[in-house]
Structure 1
């Protein structure tokens, strides 16, 4: 089924790679709900995870001087704690229900951010809680970005620091998820071949996004984040309705 829709998958990956490069997130958030309109959710999650790892590592290295490493560490550690629960949900839970809950949670986060909620002085337990939730979503749906993005936005990090920190977190958690998926026998040759085939397309999208993001200021960046989260929430709800 995946091979039959490879051109469509490549088009989705190209678009979402540009978005990921500009905003620092949005790859799996948009790619997975779009791909599940054509392929199985499990295949979409694995392909998005494999491709996202390559993209995240490249951008994490490029933006390494802007990383907020203490925040990143908390999210990474908490994500690893939440991942086992996410794997159980990935294997046994009703995927339509998961996607619907994800969509509702994302839209609630958008509403909170749009109100201008300032959590710069919030306790570090916020990072641990949202990191744990991110780990659950990482394994269950491959769309672990919303809890992290919500927190970094609410903590009022600059666009460069937010992009760099997001990609550092995603780089480590993606490797962790691939390791867990591999041990549980959830990665198959068709998904690996498809990811390899689409990788050049993804790299084109990443480079295009790098060229564009220098023209985007902090105000536009925040608006883009809200729009992306809204689209991600809506697409998750829509894909839950089509199964």
Structure 2
């Protein structure tokens, strides 16, 4: 048993769980690039998807009164449309190429939003549905589903409590559906060592508890900056990881 790999995995899952609890997203963004150092890309994708289900089940319950049901349903339906081709792409194409492409797009989008550039959205339902499609596609193919939706919600300038609750519920529902689709495509069985879940779930619970406490100390401005920072760091890590695996 490689104890160095286990310790590294435990540390990154703690960090990913903490930031995901605070911001409502970012679990895969933080975890994926580092996990690919200790396991294959496809194993890391499935591992992250399964841990995400545990994280979301807990946090969904905690924000059950604060999310916008109509928005969550619409974006989740969009993600279903996107995850079908995304799972197929994961099966037939190297994930590294998708990581490089997604990372490059996210860097550009994050920089523009940090400079206060926003796009006026005339039809918000269509915009949310489209963001859900992109989120589902990249979630199924790279396990990084958050940035398209996060950047869209930041563009809409949603209040931090509503934005976080919406993302937690969306990623909980879409994560469950993504696992089902990947199971259908045969991507789950025999991919990961299930015993690794036993090492990581306890530290995830600690990270959720600490993240909840930290979130309520953030104001709207700091929350936006944190969200953009997590997306940018994750995008750079995706570029690095994808480039290393090309």
TM-score w.r.t. the length of structure 1 is 0.94
**Cα displacement (A) at 1:37:** 2.2
Matched, 1:223 2:206: no
Structure 2 unaligned spans of 5+:
none
Per-residue CA deviations over 1:130-180 (Å, capped at 9, x if unaligned) read: 111111101100100001101111111111111100010011111111112
Partners of 2:103 and 2:179 lie apart in 1 by: 24
Match of 2:51 in 1: 51
Match of 1:70 in 2: 70
TM-score w.r.t. the length of structure 2 is 0.93
Match of 1:29 in 2: 29
Per-residue CA deviations over 1:72-127 (Å, capped at 9, x if unaligned) read: 11110010011111011111112221110010111122023113244574312211
When the two structures are aligned, how many residues end up with a matched partner? Answer: 243
Matched, 1:9 2:9: yes
Pair 64,101 (structure 1): closer, same or farther in 2 beyond 3 Å? same
Counterparts of 1:86-125 in structure 2, within 5 Å, are 86-119=86-119, 121-123=121-123, 124-125=125-126
Matched, 1:207 2:209: yes
Deviates more, 1:109-118 or 1:200-209: 109-118
Match of 2:80 in 1: 80
Match of 2:132 in 1: 131
Structure 1 unaligned spans of 5+:
none
**Cα displacement (A) at 1:24:** 0.8
Match of 1:143 in 2: 144
User: What SS class does the counterpart of residue 7 from structure 1 fall into?
Assistant: helix
User: What SS class does the counterpart of residue 64 from structure 1 fall into?
Assistant: coil
